[in-house]
A and B are shown apart, each in its own frame.
Chain A
Protein backbone atom coordinates (compact mmCIF):
# COMPACT_ATOMS: atom_id res chain seq x y z
CA UNK A 1 0.00 0.00 0.00
CA UNK A 2 1.34 3.41 -0.89
CA UNK A 3 1.86 5.24 2.41
CA UNK A 4 1.11 8.75 1.08
CA UNK A 5 -2.53 7.87 0.37
CA UNK A 6 -3.38 7.89 4.08
CA UNK A 7 -2.10 11.44 4.62
CA UNK A 8 -5.20 13.07 3.19
CA UNK A 9 -7.32 11.67 6.02
CA UNK A 10 -5.71 14.16 8.41
CA UNK A 11 -7.78 16.85 6.72
CA UNK A 12 -11.02 17.48 8.65
CA UNK A 13 -12.78 18.45 5.39
CA UNK A 14 -12.62 14.79 4.30
CA UNK A 15 -14.32 13.74 7.51
CA UNK A 16 -17.02 16.37 7.09
CA UNK A 17 -17.57 14.89 3.62
CA UNK A 18 -17.94 11.39 5.12
CA UNK A 19 -20.15 12.92 7.82
CA UNK A 20 -22.58 14.34 5.26
CA UNK A 21 -22.90 10.89 3.75
CA UNK A 22 -23.39 9.28 7.14
CA UNK A 23 -26.21 11.72 7.92
CA UNK A 24 -27.94 10.72 4.66
CA UNK A 25 -27.45 7.03 5.42
CA UNK A 26 -28.90 7.34 8.93
CA UNK A 27 -31.77 9.60 7.79
CA UNK A 28 -32.70 7.14 5.03
CA UNK A 29 -32.65 4.21 7.47
CA UNK A 30 -34.73 5.91 10.13
CA UNK A 31 -37.30 7.38 7.72
CA UNK A 32 -37.67 4.04 5.90
CA UNK A 33 -38.15 2.04 9.10
CA UNK A 34 -40.60 4.56 10.57
CA UNK A 35 -42.67 4.56 7.35
CA UNK A 36 -42.52 0.77 7.00
CA UNK A 37 -43.77 -0.05 10.46
CA UNK A 38 -47.44 1.01 10.14
CA UNK A 39 -47.59 -0.43 6.61
CA UNK A 40 -46.06 -3.70 7.80
CA UNK A 41 -48.46 -3.86 10.74
CA UNK A 42 -51.44 -3.31 8.42
CA UNK A 43 -50.30 -6.08 6.07
CA UNK A 44 -49.57 -8.46 8.96
CA UNK A 45 -53.10 -7.98 10.28
CA UNK A 46 -54.41 -8.24 6.71
CA UNK A 47 -52.74 -11.63 6.26
CA UNK A 48 -54.33 -12.86 9.47
CA UNK A 49 -57.77 -11.56 8.55
CA UNK A 50 -60.62 -14.04 8.24
CA UNK A 51 -61.91 -12.23 5.15
CA UNK A 52 -60.46 -13.70 1.98
CA UNK A 53 -60.62 -10.45 -0.02
CA UNK A 54 -58.28 -8.88 2.54
CA UNK A 55 -56.11 -11.91 3.23
CA UNK A 56 -55.24 -12.80 -0.35
CA UNK A 57 -54.03 -9.40 -1.59
CA UNK A 58 -52.07 -8.90 1.64
CA UNK A 59 -50.41 -12.31 1.24
CA UNK A 60 -49.61 -11.62 -2.41
CA UNK A 61 -48.05 -8.25 -1.56
CA UNK A 62 -45.86 -9.61 1.22
CA UNK A 63 -44.73 -12.74 -0.61
CA UNK A 64 -44.02 -10.99 -3.92
CA UNK A 65 -42.10 -8.06 -2.46
CA UNK A 66 -40.02 -10.28 -0.17
CA UNK A 67 -39.09 -12.41 -3.18
CA UNK A 68 -37.64 -9.42 -5.06
CA UNK A 69 -34.16 -7.89 -4.79
CA UNK A 70 -34.33 -4.59 -2.92
CA UNK A 71 -31.94 -3.06 -5.47
CA UNK A 72 -34.49 -3.73 -8.23
CA UNK A 73 -37.09 -1.74 -6.30
CA UNK A 74 -34.66 1.10 -5.59
CA UNK A 75 -33.49 1.36 -9.21
CA UNK A 76 -37.09 1.21 -10.44
CA UNK A 77 -38.19 4.13 -8.26
CA UNK A 78 -34.99 5.98 -9.14
CA UNK A 79 -35.86 5.81 -12.84
CA UNK A 80 -39.64 5.78 -12.82
CA UNK A 81 -40.49 7.46 -9.50
CA UNK A 82 -41.12 10.95 -10.90
CA UNK A 83 -43.50 9.87 -13.68
CA UNK A 84 -45.43 7.67 -11.22
CA UNK A 85 -46.39 10.72 -9.18
CA UNK A 86 -46.97 13.15 -12.04
CA UNK A 87 -50.69 12.36 -12.36
CA UNK A 88 -51.04 13.51 -8.72
CA UNK A 89 -48.57 16.39 -8.38
CA UNK A 90 -48.58 17.81 -11.90
CA UNK A 91 -46.42 17.43 -15.00
CA UNK A 92 -43.35 19.19 -13.58
CA UNK A 93 -43.04 17.02 -10.51
CA UNK A 94 -39.57 15.61 -9.84
CA UNK A 95 -39.33 12.98 -7.11
CA UNK A 96 -36.27 13.87 -5.02
CA UNK A 97 -33.62 11.10 -5.11
CA UNK A 98 -33.78 10.71 -1.36
CA UNK A 99 -37.49 9.89 -1.47
CA UNK A 100 -37.08 7.51 -4.38
CA UNK A 101 -34.61 5.64 -2.17
CA UNK A 102 -36.99 5.78 0.78
CA UNK A 103 -39.80 4.38 -1.40
CA UNK A 104 -37.74 1.41 -2.58
CA UNK A 105 -36.38 0.66 0.88
CA UNK A 106 -39.76 1.08 2.63
CA UNK A 107 -41.64 -1.05 0.15
CA UNK A 108 -39.25 -3.91 0.83
CA UNK A 109 -38.90 -3.32 4.58
CA UNK A 110 -42.68 -3.12 5.09
CA UNK A 111 -43.08 -6.61 3.60
CA UNK A 112 -40.32 -7.97 5.85
CA UNK A 113 -41.77 -6.28 8.94
CA UNK A 114 -45.20 -7.68 8.06
CA UNK A 115 -43.69 -11.17 8.13
CA UNK A 116 -41.92 -10.52 11.45
CA UNK A 117 -45.10 -9.13 13.04
CA UNK A 118 -47.22 -11.99 11.72
CA UNK A 119 -44.75 -14.56 13.06
CA UNK A 120 -44.78 -12.78 16.43
CA UNK A 121 -48.59 -12.88 16.59
CA UNK A 122 -48.75 -16.52 15.50
CA UNK A 123 -46.25 -17.68 18.10
CA UNK A 124 -48.40 -16.42 20.97
CA UNK A 125 -50.42 -19.26 22.50
CA UNK A 126 -53.95 -19.41 21.06
CA UNK A 127 -55.34 -19.48 24.59
CA UNK A 128 -54.58 -15.76 24.90
CA UNK A 129 -56.94 -14.84 22.06
CA UNK A 130 -59.57 -17.37 23.09
CA UNK A 131 -59.60 -16.17 26.70
CA UNK A 132 -59.99 -12.52 25.78
CA UNK A 133 -62.71 -13.29 23.25
CA UNK A 134 -64.50 -15.38 25.90
CA UNK A 135 -64.24 -12.44 28.30
CA UNK A 136 -66.23 -10.40 25.80
CA UNK A 137 -63.51 -8.36 24.07
CA UNK A 138 -64.08 -7.70 20.38
CA UNK A 139 -61.48 -8.77 17.77
CA UNK A 140 -59.94 -5.27 17.52
CA UNK A 141 -59.87 -5.00 21.32
CA UNK A 142 -58.22 -8.42 21.62
CA UNK A 143 -55.51 -7.32 19.15
CA UNK A 144 -55.05 -3.90 20.72
CA UNK A 145 -54.95 -4.86 24.42
CA UNK A 146 -53.89 -8.52 24.53
CA UNK A 147 -52.12 -9.81 21.42
CA UNK A 148 -50.13 -6.87 20.02
CA UNK A 149 -48.57 -5.69 23.30
CA UNK A 150 -47.14 -9.17 23.85
CA UNK A 151 -46.32 -9.92 20.24
CA UNK A 152 -44.52 -6.62 19.65
CA UNK A 153 -42.34 -7.20 22.68
CA UNK A 154 -41.46 -10.63 21.34
CA UNK A 155 -40.43 -9.02 18.07
CA UNK A 156 -38.10 -6.32 19.37
CA UNK A 157 -34.89 -8.30 18.71
CA UNK A 158 -35.99 -9.26 15.19
CA UNK A 159 -36.90 -5.66 14.44
CA UNK A 160 -33.58 -4.38 15.73
CA UNK A 161 -31.96 -6.94 13.47
CA UNK A 162 -33.99 -5.63 10.57
CA UNK A 163 -32.75 -2.11 11.32
CA UNK A 164 -29.15 -3.25 10.74
CA UNK A 165 -30.26 -4.78 7.43
CA UNK A 166 -31.88 -1.52 6.39
CA UNK A 167 -28.68 0.37 7.26
CA UNK A 168 -26.69 -2.03 5.09
CA UNK A 169 -29.26 -1.78 2.30
CA UNK A 170 -29.10 2.03 2.26
CA UNK A 171 -25.65 1.60 0.69
CA UNK A 172 -27.53 0.73 -2.53
CA UNK A 173 -29.07 4.17 -2.98
CA UNK A 174 -25.79 5.48 -4.38
CA UNK A 175 -26.81 3.78 -7.64
CA UNK A 176 -29.69 6.25 -8.03
CA UNK A 177 -27.67 9.28 -7.03
CA UNK A 178 -28.28 9.73 -3.32
CA UNK A 179 -25.07 10.88 -1.65
CA UNK A 180 -24.99 8.38 1.18
CA UNK A 181 -21.89 7.20 3.03
CA UNK A 182 -20.70 4.78 0.33
CA UNK A 183 -21.39 7.22 -2.48
CA UNK A 184 -19.43 9.98 -0.71
CA UNK A 185 -16.59 7.48 -0.33
CA UNK A 186 -16.73 6.69 -4.04
CA UNK A 187 -16.52 10.40 -4.84
CA UNK A 188 -13.39 10.63 -2.69
CA UNK A 189 -11.61 7.66 -4.22
CA UNK A 190 -12.37 8.65 -7.80
CA UNK A 191 -10.71 11.98 -6.93
CA UNK A 192 -7.71 10.62 -5.04
CA UNK A 193 -7.48 7.14 -6.56
CA UNK A 194 -7.33 5.35 -3.21
CA UNK A 195 -10.28 2.91 -3.13
CA UNK A 196 -8.61 0.54 -0.65
CA UNK A 197 -8.19 3.13 2.08
CA UNK A 198 -11.57 4.76 1.51
CA UNK A 199 -13.50 1.48 1.34
CA UNK A 200 -11.80 0.25 4.52
CA UNK A 201 -12.89 3.41 6.32
CA UNK A 202 -16.44 3.19 4.94
CA UNK A 203 -16.66 -0.51 5.86
CA UNK A 204 -15.45 0.29 9.38
CA UNK A 205 -18.12 2.95 9.87
CA UNK A 206 -20.88 0.58 8.71
CA UNK A 207 -19.40 -2.17 10.84
CA UNK A 208 -19.34 -0.15 14.05
CA UNK A 209 -23.00 0.90 13.66
CA UNK A 210 -24.32 -2.52 12.62
CA UNK A 211 -22.19 -4.48 15.10
CA UNK A 212 -23.37 -2.38 18.05
CA UNK A 213 -27.00 -2.70 16.94
CA UNK A 214 -26.81 -6.45 16.38
CA UNK A 215 -25.11 -6.99 19.76
CA UNK A 216 -27.89 -4.92 21.37
CA UNK A 217 -30.58 -6.96 19.64
CA UNK A 218 -29.01 -10.18 20.92
CA UNK A 219 -28.99 -8.87 24.49
CA UNK A 220 -32.63 -7.83 24.31
CA UNK A 221 -34.73 -10.72 25.54
CA UNK A 222 -38.06 -9.22 26.44
CA UNK A 223 -40.95 -11.27 27.76
CA UNK A 224 -40.98 -15.02 28.05
CA UNK A 225 -40.39 -16.65 24.71
CA UNK A 226 -40.86 -20.35 24.02
CA UNK A 227 -37.93 -22.14 22.42
CA UNK A 228 -40.01 -22.97 19.36
CA UNK A 229 -40.97 -19.33 18.88
CA UNK A 230 -37.35 -18.30 19.14
CA UNK A 231 -36.27 -20.78 16.46
CA UNK A 232 -39.06 -19.56 14.17
CA UNK A 233 -38.05 -15.92 14.65
CA UNK A 234 -34.36 -16.56 13.97
CA UNK A 235 -35.18 -18.43 10.77
CA UNK A 236 -37.24 -15.51 9.57
CA UNK A 237 -34.48 -13.10 10.41
CA UNK A 238 -31.99 -15.15 8.40
CA UNK A 239 -33.85 -14.98 5.15
CA UNK A 240 -34.45 -11.30 5.36
CA UNK A 241 -31.28 -10.15 7.02
CA UNK A 242 -28.89 -11.59 4.55
CA UNK A 243 -30.73 -9.57 1.92
Chain B
Protein backbone atom coordinates (compact mmCIF):
# COMPACT_ATOMS: atom_id res chain seq x y z
CA UNK B 1 0.00 0.00 0.00
CA UNK B 2 1.43 3.42 -0.84
CA UNK B 3 2.36 5.34 2.25
CA UNK B 4 2.66 2.23 4.45
CA UNK B 5 6.25 3.21 5.25
CA UNK B 6 4.81 6.07 7.32
CA UNK B 7 3.72 3.49 9.91
CA UNK B 8 7.17 1.92 9.99
CA UNK B 9 8.63 5.32 10.92
CA UNK B 10 5.69 7.05 12.59
CA UNK B 11 7.86 9.35 14.74
CA UNK B 12 9.67 10.71 11.71
CA UNK B 13 6.73 11.08 9.34
CA UNK B 14 3.98 12.16 11.71
CA UNK B 15 6.39 14.14 13.87
CA UNK B 16 7.57 15.84 10.68
CA UNK B 17 4.01 16.46 9.57
CA UNK B 18 3.25 18.04 12.94
CA UNK B 19 6.28 20.36 12.65
CA UNK B 20 5.20 21.31 9.12
CA UNK B 21 1.69 22.12 10.41
CA UNK B 22 3.08 24.11 13.36
CA UNK B 23 5.47 26.06 11.19
CA UNK B 24 2.69 26.78 8.66
CA UNK B 25 0.22 27.94 11.31
CA UNK B 26 2.67 30.12 13.23
CA UNK B 27 4.23 31.42 10.01
CA UNK B 28 0.82 32.39 8.65
CA UNK B 29 -0.11 34.28 11.80
CA UNK B 30 3.23 36.07 11.74
CA UNK B 31 2.90 36.88 8.03
CA UNK B 32 -0.64 38.25 8.45
CA UNK B 33 0.30 40.52 11.37
CA UNK B 34 3.51 41.74 9.75
CA UNK B 35 1.94 42.05 6.30
CA UNK B 36 -1.02 44.09 7.53
CA UNK B 37 1.29 46.42 9.45
CA UNK B 38 3.49 46.91 6.37
CA UNK B 39 0.42 47.47 4.15
CA UNK B 40 -0.71 50.25 6.51
CA UNK B 41 2.80 51.74 6.27
CA UNK B 42 2.55 51.63 2.48
CA UNK B 43 -0.66 53.68 2.39
CA UNK B 44 0.56 56.07 5.11
CA UNK B 45 0.32 59.81 4.40
CA UNK B 46 3.95 60.16 5.63
CA UNK B 47 6.35 59.56 2.72
CA UNK B 48 9.37 58.07 4.60
CA UNK B 49 7.06 55.51 6.25
CA UNK B 50 5.77 54.54 2.80
CA UNK B 51 9.36 54.16 1.54
CA UNK B 52 10.36 51.85 4.38
CA UNK B 53 7.32 49.69 3.67
CA UNK B 54 8.08 49.58 -0.06
CA UNK B 55 11.76 48.71 0.54
CA UNK B 56 10.75 45.85 2.84
CA UNK B 57 8.28 44.42 0.33
CA UNK B 58 10.66 44.66 -2.63
CA UNK B 59 13.61 43.19 -0.75
CA UNK B 60 11.82 40.17 0.65
CA UNK B 61 9.87 39.41 -2.52
CA UNK B 62 12.88 39.56 -4.80
CA UNK B 63 15.34 37.40 -2.87
CA UNK B 64 15.03 33.63 -2.41
CA UNK B 65 13.56 32.40 0.86
CA UNK B 66 16.48 29.97 1.38
CA UNK B 67 18.94 32.86 1.35
CA UNK B 68 16.85 34.60 4.00
CA UNK B 69 16.69 31.40 6.07
CA UNK B 70 20.44 30.89 5.90
CA UNK B 71 20.96 34.48 6.97
CA UNK B 72 18.63 34.13 9.96
CA UNK B 73 20.14 30.81 10.97
CA UNK B 74 23.86 31.42 10.33
CA UNK B 75 24.29 35.17 10.07
CA UNK B 76 22.39 36.48 13.07
CA UNK B 77 24.16 34.32 15.70
CA UNK B 78 27.46 35.82 14.51
CA UNK B 79 26.05 39.25 15.29
CA UNK B 80 25.22 37.95 18.75
CA UNK B 81 21.52 37.52 17.95
CA UNK B 82 20.05 34.12 18.68
CA UNK B 83 16.38 33.28 18.85
CA UNK B 84 16.95 30.70 21.59
CA UNK B 85 19.93 29.21 23.41
CA UNK B 86 18.80 25.69 22.54
CA UNK B 87 19.96 24.72 19.04
CA UNK B 88 16.72 23.05 18.01
CA UNK B 89 14.61 25.96 19.25
CA UNK B 90 16.93 28.41 17.53
CA UNK B 91 16.53 26.66 14.18
CA UNK B 92 12.77 26.37 14.47
CA UNK B 93 12.38 30.02 15.48
CA UNK B 94 14.70 31.15 12.69
CA UNK B 95 12.49 29.20 10.26
CA UNK B 96 9.37 30.77 11.75
CA UNK B 97 10.80 34.29 11.46
CA UNK B 98 11.86 33.53 7.87
CA UNK B 99 8.37 32.33 6.93
CA UNK B 100 6.75 35.39 8.50
CA UNK B 101 9.18 37.86 6.87
CA UNK B 102 9.01 36.37 3.37
CA UNK B 103 5.26 35.78 3.18
CA UNK B 104 4.59 39.00 5.07
CA UNK B 105 5.85 40.85 2.00
CA UNK B 106 3.26 39.08 -0.18
CA UNK B 107 0.49 39.67 2.40
CA UNK B 108 1.43 43.36 2.46
CA UNK B 109 0.97 43.63 -1.30
CA UNK B 110 -2.45 41.97 -1.17
CA UNK B 111 -3.71 44.04 1.76
CA UNK B 112 -2.38 47.23 0.20
CA UNK B 113 -4.21 46.38 -3.04
CA UNK B 114 -7.36 45.85 -1.01
CA UNK B 115 -6.97 49.16 0.84
CA UNK B 116 -6.36 51.09 -2.38
CA UNK B 117 -9.33 49.34 -3.99
CA UNK B 118 -11.79 50.91 -1.57
CA UNK B 119 -13.89 53.57 -3.32
CA UNK B 120 -12.31 57.01 -2.72
CA UNK B 121 -15.76 58.52 -2.37
CA UNK B 122 -16.39 56.42 0.73
CA UNK B 123 -13.17 57.58 2.35
CA UNK B 124 -13.86 61.22 1.52
CA UNK B 125 -17.40 60.88 2.83
CA UNK B 126 -16.11 59.38 6.09
CA UNK B 127 -13.52 62.17 6.48
CA UNK B 128 -16.05 64.90 5.78
CA UNK B 129 -18.41 63.34 8.34
CA UNK B 130 -15.70 64.12 10.88
CA UNK B 131 -13.99 60.74 11.27
CA UNK B 132 -10.24 60.96 11.85
CA UNK B 133 -7.71 59.25 9.55
CA UNK B 134 -7.36 56.36 11.99
CA UNK B 135 -11.12 56.04 12.43
CA UNK B 136 -11.70 56.02 8.67
CA UNK B 137 -9.07 53.34 8.31
CA UNK B 138 -10.55 51.19 11.06
CA UNK B 139 -14.26 51.72 10.50
CA UNK B 140 -14.45 52.08 6.71
CA UNK B 141 -11.36 50.91 4.84
CA UNK B 142 -10.30 47.78 6.72
CA UNK B 143 -13.74 46.04 6.86
CA UNK B 144 -14.19 46.57 3.12
CA UNK B 145 -10.67 45.37 2.45
CA UNK B 146 -11.16 42.23 4.51
CA UNK B 147 -13.69 40.67 2.12
CA UNK B 148 -11.65 41.39 -0.99
CA UNK B 149 -8.37 40.01 0.37
CA UNK B 150 -9.56 36.67 1.79
CA UNK B 151 -9.16 34.60 -1.42
CA UNK B 152 -5.68 35.93 -2.33
CA UNK B 153 -4.56 35.47 1.27
CA UNK B 154 -5.72 31.87 1.00
CA UNK B 155 -3.41 31.43 -1.96
CA UNK B 156 -0.51 32.81 0.07
CA UNK B 157 -1.37 30.35 2.84
CA UNK B 158 -1.08 27.46 0.38
CA UNK B 159 2.27 28.76 -0.84
CA UNK B 160 3.40 29.06 2.79
CA UNK B 161 2.56 25.44 3.61
CA UNK B 162 4.61 24.33 0.60
CA UNK B 163 7.46 26.69 1.45
CA UNK B 164 7.84 25.33 4.99
CA UNK B 165 9.70 22.48 3.24
CA UNK B 166 12.59 24.94 2.77
CA UNK B 167 13.10 24.88 6.53
CA UNK B 168 14.50 21.38 6.07
CA UNK B 169 17.58 22.96 4.46
CA UNK B 170 18.51 24.61 7.77
CA UNK B 171 17.73 21.47 9.74
CA UNK B 172 14.10 21.66 10.85
CA UNK B 173 12.95 18.02 10.98
CA UNK B 174 9.80 18.67 8.98
CA UNK B 175 7.98 16.35 6.61
CA UNK B 176 10.51 16.63 3.78
CA UNK B 177 13.39 16.11 6.22
CA UNK B 178 11.64 12.96 7.49
CA UNK B 179 11.44 11.57 3.96
CA UNK B 180 15.14 12.29 3.44
CA UNK B 181 16.13 10.56 6.70
CA UNK B 182 14.00 7.51 5.94
CA UNK B 183 15.46 7.35 2.44
CA UNK B 184 19.02 7.44 3.76
CA UNK B 185 18.24 4.67 6.28
CA UNK B 186 16.29 2.33 4.02
CA UNK B 187 17.21 3.38 0.44
CA UNK B 188 13.48 3.13 -0.31
CA UNK B 189 13.37 6.56 -1.95
CA UNK B 190 10.23 5.87 -3.97
CA UNK B 191 8.16 4.92 -0.94
CA UNK B 192 9.57 7.61 1.34
CA UNK B 193 8.94 10.43 -1.13
CA UNK B 194 5.54 9.10 -2.19
CA UNK B 195 4.52 9.17 1.47
CA UNK B 196 5.75 12.73 1.92
CA UNK B 197 3.96 13.67 -1.31
CA UNK B 198 0.67 12.20 -0.08
CA UNK B 199 0.98 13.94 3.28
CA UNK B 200 1.73 17.30 1.61
CA UNK B 201 -1.24 16.81 -0.71
CA UNK B 202 -3.38 16.01 2.32
CA UNK B 203 -2.53 19.50 3.61
CA UNK B 204 -2.57 21.58 0.43
CA UNK B 205 -5.42 20.04 -1.62
CA UNK B 206 -8.15 20.58 1.03
CA UNK B 207 -6.76 24.08 1.63
CA UNK B 208 -6.96 24.72 -2.12
CA UNK B 209 -10.59 23.56 -2.25
CA UNK B 210 -11.49 25.89 0.65
CA UNK B 211 -9.78 28.80 -1.10
CA UNK B 212 -11.58 28.05 -4.39
CA UNK B 213 -14.91 27.91 -2.56
CA UNK B 214 -14.24 31.23 -0.82
CA UNK B 215 -13.16 32.75 -4.12
CA UNK B 216 -16.50 31.90 -5.68
CA UNK B 217 -18.52 33.11 -2.70
CA UNK B 218 -16.66 36.32 -2.00
CA UNK B 219 -15.88 37.35 -5.58
CA UNK B 220 -15.74 41.13 -5.62
CA UNK B 221 -15.53 42.75 -9.02
CA UNK B 222 -14.78 46.41 -8.70
A-to-B contact residues, CB < 8 Å: 1, 63-64, 67-72, 75-76, 79-80, 164, 168-169, 171-172, 174-175, 182, 186, 189, 195-196, 199-200, 202-203, 206-207, 210-211, 214, 227-228, 231, 234-235, 238-243
Q: Which of B64, B78, B163 contacts A195 (CB 8 A)?
A: B78
| B189 x A243 contact (CB < 8 A) | no
| B163 x A69 contact (CB < 8 A) | yes
| B64 x A171 contact (CB < 8 A) | yes
Shortest beta-carbon distance, A178 to chain B, in Å? 13
B-to-A contact residues, CB < 8 Å: 58-59, 61-68, 70-71, 74-75, 78-79, 102-103, 106, 109-110, 113, 151-152, 155-156, 158-160, 162-166, 168-169, 176, 179-180, 183, 189-190, 193, 196-197, 200-201, 204-205, 208, 215, 221-222
Measured CA separation A85–B166 after assembly (Å): 27
Shortest beta-carbon distance, A107 to chain B, in Å? 12
| A1 x B79 contact (CB < 8 A) | yes
What residues of A have a CB within 8 angstroms of the CB of B71 in the complex?
Answer: 195-196, 199-200, 203
Shortest beta-carbon distance, A94 to chain B, in Å? 15
What would 7 more interface pairs be, CB under 8 Å, given A67-B162, A206-B67, A240-B159? A67-B204, A67-B208, A76-B189, A171-B64, A214-B61, A235-B155, A242-B103
| A169 x B64 contact (CB < 8 A) | yes
What residues of A have a CB within 8 angstroms of the CB of B169 in the complex?
Answer: 71, 172, 175
Measured CA separation A227–B163 after assembly (Å): 30
| A211 x B58 contact (CB < 8 A) | yes
Shortest beta-carbon distance, B142 to chain A, in Å? 20
| B190 x A199 contact (CB < 8 A) | no
**Which single residue of chain B is at the shortest CB-CB distance from A210?**
B62
| B176 x A69 contact (CB < 8 A) | yes
Measured CA separation A186–B66 after assembly (Å): 12
| A71 x B200 contact (CB < 8 A) | no
What residues of A have a CB within 8 angstroms of the CB of B158 in the complex?
Answer: 67, 239
| A67 x B205 contact (CB < 8 A) | yes
A235-B151, A239-B156 known; A172 vs B189 contact (CB < 8 Å): no
Measured CA separation A67–B206 after assembly (Å): 10
Measured CA separation A204–B63 after assembly (Å): 8
| A206 x B155 contact (CB < 8 A) | no
List the 10 closest pairs (A to B, CB-CB), nearest first: A239-B155, A242-B159, A69-B165, A210-B62, A171-B64, A67-B204, A69-B162, A168-B64, A195-B74, A196-B75
Q: Which of A76, A171, A203 contacts B193 (CB 8 A)?
A: A76
| B165 x A195 contact (CB < 8 A) | no
Q: Which of B58, B103, B176 contacts A75 (CB 8 A)?
A: B176
Measured CA separation A227–B113 after assembly (Å): 14
A67-B200, A68-B201, A214-B62 known; A242 vs B156 contact (CB < 8 Å): yes
A195-B78, A199-B74 known; A243 vs B63 contact (CB < 8 Å): no
Measured CA separation A242–B59 after assembly (Å): 13
Q: Which of A75, A186, A199, A200 contacts B180 (CB 8 A)?
A: A75
**Which single residue of chain A is at the shortest CB-CB distance from B153?**
A238
